[in-house]
Amino acid sequence: MDFNPYGGAAARVAAAVVNAGRVPAADLAAIMSGEGSSLTALTEQDAACVADWAQRLRPVFTETDLHTRVELLNTLLADSACRPYISRHDGKPPHLHYAGEGEDPVRRIQAYTVGGLAHLLCEDPDRIGVCLRQGCGVVFVDTSRNGRRRYCSTRCATRVHVAEHRERQRR
């Protein structure tokens, strides 16, 4: 299920940068590109700033109280200085941007990720999550049809279900 461009790709980029942690700039750019970001080059300093930003994004995924999530996102929106405007570049149809095309990459990533999470929170806050497998901690955007995803991957879900099955068999 895809939402609008920000609730979709932008929210997935937010999850990707949170999960990436501190990685080399080239790796971070590749991770973000794999989720739909148009930024292709970052400096090592940019990557460090994005990693710091990702630490601030993580609580949006891990917090379960809607009111607290809203407050977190409002603070991040203010800190990223989001200012919506319509952009037309690279032959694309008009679309919404939250940072000027001339802004530095870190500011653009901040605005893009928090804008996407804000759209997603307003559309369907239950689609922002963190893996329930103990010890995993990977965050995700639930794009499943029914919106009931609770694990970051099939692998984590299977591990939990197999462990539960073995526990039942032991009893």
- pLDDT score at 157: 95
- pLDDT score at 64: 92
Please check whether residue 8 is in contact with residue 152, taking contact to mean a CB–CB distance below 8 angstroms: no
Domains of the chain: 6-129 (1.10.3300.10)
> Cα separation of 140 and 37, whole Å?
16
Give residues with Cβ within 8 angstroms of 145, minimum separation 6.
1
> What is the Cα Rg of the chain in Å?
17
Give residues with Cβ within 8 angstroms of 62, minimum separation 6.
130, 139
> Cα separation of 79 and 114, whole Å?
10
Residue 10 in this model has a pLDDT that exceeds 60: yes
Give residues with Cβ within 8 angstroms of 35, minimum separation 6.
9, 12, 13, 15, 16
> Cα separation of 20 and 17, whole Å?
5
pTM listed for this prediction: 0.87
Band of pLDDT at residue 5, cut at 50, 70 and 90: very low
Q: pLDDT per residue over 56-110, tens digit each?
A: 999 999 999 999 999 999 999 999 977 777 888 778 888 778 887 788 999 999 9
Band of pLDDT at residue 6, cut at 50, 70 and 90: very low
